Structure 1
């Protein structure tokens, strides 16, 4: 693809009510092959344009396709993963850097972010939650209660936390072992995606994984989540549904990279498959076994990961309560 064939703009749709209120940003297709959010946003746009739904207070911004190059290619990324190392780039080196230079100011204009995704392998939808309130160096935050309430109303029975601390651990290991092919993976800011960037700007947000990429129900999960967020924030005349019962919270504790293109899983793992300490998960190209470090869960297994990138995550049951 030549530079002249790259998308030249990023499209957003805004609905500003005459009554002030929260400023909500909803993103679809941050990864180009994750289109459930795009379909849900398109459905909501039709309702807003027809008058079937109205924004009563605040500002709603909808971005159906956040990474148009990856969307055009029908793949996860264009030239790099947009949802890593989210920051303003004074000297953009690739397409995603240029998108981030537009997207970061948009995120900073809002109070709340809902980022809609899907995942490679089978499994049920889940929400990615930020940290508890803290003043630490990794991800200082002060809106945990509001974010937890939002996560509880998105319709999922599973919530995952611990993203940034897990990334920090992965960066430290990569630096120590020197087994990395992309310089970004050694950057302490590599784990910063859309919601993490939003938190640095005083907002809060949820990344919602709506199901497997091809799951016909994933767009419905995304659509319901947008509407329930509007209801929760009092932005539209939509009934707020109660949270799901018995929501399970899992804490990520480690990220395991694919070191060689011939690294292989022992079977087709799905997100949140349970494992016991010592269970065999996969084999390195060298034949070395990759085993579960403790009783826990496989999260985000990606058998087609790029060399040096995240192969899977490992999580354990969290003590956190909503």
Structure 2
């Protein structure tokens, strides 16, 4: 059992007089990612002073989802909250205690907007879910609504394929493992948005910019306001969707593992850098080069990855985003 800490969880709900969707907006799932918190607090201040009125449905704000990590001003408290996010009868760490509060809260809503930031300098981007499917990994039926909302958040870069690609890596590492053990490890890939989809809703992760970028809270604020307007939770003009020709749509299609402590990147890579077929990404401990197997962009390179863990992902241009938004 995890130790008890002098912390508490906080959510604020505003409910309109007319029926409508139940929206939840979260910030600081990672404690050093504060742009979402700032954007949420700005919107709540406008609601509280009467500048914004919630007309239809409801919105629940969680300005600080992980209060321990936020207090410590670091990514995690005792572990990464955005992995293996499920309720537990026997919580083992502080993030398990968060999950026991957060998961029922997510399940009570229809739509999640989860606001994050990232370490390297790059443009904001949105992580979207899978296509509609009846598969066992992440069955889903709201791709049209989810991707329509994504196009109205105010960003131009979109990425899909997280859980399926992560799952491919898990299955490769655990080939021959018992089904129950494999399922347990696959659960590690489930965070806020994946859990929301598992409960019948839809969800988007918006990466608002670099952690310290003064513009990131504005990106979060704009996304919140556009979401409230698009879902008709407030009376406001409908936000225009980003034009399909102005979008950058990428699909995660491959994950490469670090096999030994001596594996090293050939240089410092940043997410969304272009790579061409045959480019040397790094070298194995024995000197064998690791090369790009196709033209694409590298994503989430982890110089501190442990052996037998994800080292970097590869993306290629996605196809037919618009089939799910018209």
Q: 2:191 aligned to 180, 190, 193, which one?
A: 193
Normalized against structure 1, the TM-score is what? Answer: 0.91
Task: State the partner residue of 1:241.
Answer: 239
Partner of 2:316: 316
Contact 2:171–2:182 (8 Å) recurs in 1 = no
- The separation in 1 between residues aligned to 2:277 and 2:118, in whole angstroms, is 25
* Alpha-carbon spacing, 1:244–1:159, altered in 2? closer, same or farther (3 Å): same
Q: Which residue of 2 aligns with 1:292?
A: 292
Deviation string, structure 1 residues 72-123 (Cα, Å, up to 9, x no partner): 2222111111111111111111111111111000000001000011112121
Whole-Å Cα distance in 1 between the matches of residues 10 and 308 of structure 2? 32
Question: Are residues 215 and 268 of structure 1, via their aligned partners in 2, closer, same or farther at CA, if it must alter by over 3 Å?
Answer: farther
Please point out which of 206, 212, 215 is paired with 1:214.
212
Paired with 2:64 and 2:27, the residues of 1 have a C-alpha distance of: 5
Find the aligned partners of 2:140 and 2:268 in 1 and give their Cα distance: 36
Partner of residue 173, structure 1: 172
In structure 1, the partner of 2:94 is 95
Q: Distance in 2 between matches of 1:213 and 1:244?
A: 24
Question: Which piece of structure 1 moves more, 61-70 or 166-175?
Answer: 166-175
Residues in 2 aligned to 1:177 and 1:281: alpha-carbon distance in whole angstroms: 29
User: 3-state DSSP class of the match of 2:117?
Assistant: strand
Q: Which residue of 2 aligns with 1:63?
A: 62
Alpha-carbon separation, structure 2, partners of 1:77 and 1:205: 22
> What's 2:283 paired with?
283
Q: Which residue of 1 aligns with 2:156?
A: 157
**8 Å Cα contact 1:130-1:144 kept in structure 2:** yes
Residue 160 of structure 1: CA displacement?
0.5
Matches within 5 A, 1:137-152: 137-152=136-151
2: CA distance, partners of 1:272 / 1:257 = 18
Native 8 Å contact 2:124 2:208 kept in 1: yes
Which of 102-111 and 238-247 deviates more?
238-247
Structure 2 length-normalised TM = 0.90
Aligned to 2:225: 227
Q: 1:260 to 1:93 in 2, by over 3 A?
A: farther
More divergent stretch after superposition (261-270 vs 212-221) = 261-270
Contact 1:171 1:186 in 2 (8 A): no
Task: Decide whether the 8 Å contact of 1:7 with 1:69 is kept in 2.
Answer: no
> C-alpha separation between the residues in 1 aligned to 2:88 and 2:24?
21
Q: Distance in 2 between matches of 1:104 and 1:15?
A: 19
